[in-house]
Amino acid sequence: MVKKLLLASIALAAQMAGPAMAADLPVPPPVYSAPRSPAIYSWWTGCYVGGNLGGAWSRPHYTHDNSVVVEDFTFKPVAAIGGGQLGCQYQWSSLVFGVEGTWSAANLQQSQPSLLLPNRERSISINQIATATGRLGYAWDRTMLYVEGGWAGVRVNARAVNLTNGVFSEFTDWSSGWTVGTGLEHVPWHNIVVGLEFNYYTVTFDHTGQDNVGGSVRYFNSNAPIYALTLRASYLFGPPVVTNY
């Protein structure tokens, strides 16, 4: 009986001393985890292909010399323009760097009579434009404002004809120049990019040759400034990239 009473007393004392001893133990410091920066979707990184459609207007000019008279001509054609674009770009923070190539068909053409010679007609035609440009954009979420600039090639045809006897001179050539532009694009759905773009192109197309009966002809002092406003739609390959800045 005494032995049982002694064991019970020891167990009770141990239970009472446990919380007191635990209270004397040092409290471990809290574990601190650095907060992760929020995930950001890069909607603009990848390569894309698409098409564009809009309007173009120009004010090409040249001086024509047919060994009889020297005469200036300025044209004001307006036409539709449309084509395709192919490019790749990379988003870093809010900046988007890219390169792009385009090809467009146009129907910028006009004729006008000579004011110095009777029954003479001079004309101009611009039917293709190609570009290779660099692009720099500023993006906020799914919208981007950008500028671009680089090389432009324009296919120009110039013609002079005597309507009385059928004597004519003509040449068609790709002329190199440059282009600058700006645009606004938006991603309404995954991988789909739509936008509005304005471009300016300029080339010169001086040419010396002969008419169809061997007479000397010159087209000089030439310039073809072209303006275009187009709607664009592209497919951007790959899902949005998740990054942490």
According to the model, what pLDDT value does residue 6 have? 45
Mean of pLDDT values over 92-106: 97
Tell me: pLDDT of 21 over 60. Answer: no
Share of the chain above pLDDT 90, in %: 79
According to the model, what pLDDT value does residue 36 have? 61
Closest among 148, 122, 120 to 222, alpha carbons compared: 122
Closest among 197, 192, 217 to 207, alpha carbons compared: 217
Q: What is the pLDDT of residues 220-238, one digit of tens each?
A: 999 999 999 999 999 999 7
The burial of 18, by beta-carbon neighbours within 10 Å (0-12 exposed, 13-18 middle, 19 or more buried), is given as exposed
> Residue 146 and residue 48: Cα distance in Å, rounded?
16
According to the model, what pLDDT value does residue 243 have? 54
Mean of pLDDT values over 85-113: 97
Residue whose token pair is 């080339």:
203
Quote the pTM value.
0.81
CB of 147 within 8 A of CB of 140?
no
> Residue 154 and residue 31: Cα distance in Å, rounded?
67
> Is residue 109 within a helix (H) or strand (E), and if so which, with residue range?
strand 95-113
According to the model, what pLDDT value does residue 166 have? 95
> Residue 109 and residue 114: Cα distance in Å, rounded?
16
Mean of pLDDT values over 153-177: 97
Q: Is 77 helix (H, G, I), strand (E, B) or coil?
A: coil
Q: What is the 3-state secondary structure (H, E, C) of 81-101?
A: EEEEEEEEEEEECCEEEEEEE
Q: What is the pLDDT of residues 39-50, one digit of tens each?
A: 556 899 999 999
Q: What is the pLDDT of residues 174-225, one digit of tens each?
A: 999 999 999 999 999 989 999 999 999 999 999 999 999 999 999 999 999 9
pLDDT-derived band at 84 (thresholds 50, 70, 90) equals very high
According to the model, what pLDDT value does residue 42 have? 81
Higher per-residue pLDDT: 118 or 32: 118
